[in-house]
Structure 1
Amino acid sequence: MATKKASKPTFSASRSSGGSTSLSPWLGIASIVILADQLSKIVVNKLFLYGEEKPITSFFNLVLAYNKGAAFSFLAFESGWQRYFFTGIGIAAVVFIILLLRKHAGQRLFCWSLALIMGGAIGNVIDRVVYGHVVDFLDFHWAGHHFPAFNIADTAITIGAALFILDELRRVNKH
């Protein structure tokens, strides 16, 4: 008589969250963000010198910029400790996001937001570890005023945060 071998448990959410409970789609989304972010930064690093700009439209340039700080160059001009501080925050955020994804893997919009944020966080952590700074290259401007340069990782984090807010508003409106 053949016996069935028990399969290993997989990461899954509780049944109450509904839908697919696999982490794979969310890790896949984060991986696509990381890949797009890192490839774009490699290309810009190869094609541009630091500070070099290439106008694309009347309101958008490509530029090679380095950010040793966080969003909007927060703490960029400190002595260097911020590199390790923001790397640690990024790693802690990724661990926390993975725990949330495991718990809520079936909540699609929530997990989309977390996957985008995680991919962006990892993309910027890779920069801090490899280069000592984050590589930025998207430069929007209007009437002589430039928005701080950013990258694909930052874009994913911003979209993820917007989806997170949208998900929370939808959840609150259901109750």
Structure 2
Amino acid sequence: MIEDLGAHRGKTIVFGYDRHVLPELGAYTQALGSCGAIVNAVGGQGQPLHYLTSAESVCRRMLGVGSGLTVGVLVCATGLGVCIAANKFRGLYAARCLSAEDARCARLVNNANVLCLAAASTVDVNRRIIDAFMTTPYEGRKLDELLYLRRLEMDDKDHGGDHHDRHHRGLRSIG
């Protein structure tokens, strides 16, 4: 995650969504198609479109291929449910973005590799968010913070005691 510098444009896009996207599915597919090859991670005909199963499918596919080669895009009613679910997967960093500025910051500062969108937003707003997320490169800022997150991922068996103190030493905000 930390080593993957640059933008996401041109990577394989693993796309998942829930039923709220169906009326605008063509517009989302078109917007994503201009940024890279799309892999639809949602099940086949007749399967229910649930935000949790879509998020799980996207994340498992990303990890199976290699998260440095793919970028995830998830859309549910608010973007919150898919974001929470995606952040349960080690090495994936999901950001719910409601504006192009959110997307730029998620990439530039935090190197997010899963974009979570709200179907409640208009497709035009989400198209601008997608473009900002795909074209904004991660520039290697805030490495101390990102290394801290990686340590938290690796230390999931330690849920208390001196966890905060042990890992917080030396962490300072860079900007």
TM-score, normalising length from structure 2?
0.26
The structure with the largest helix share of the pair is 1
Larger RCO (alpha carbons 8 Å, 6+ apart) = 1
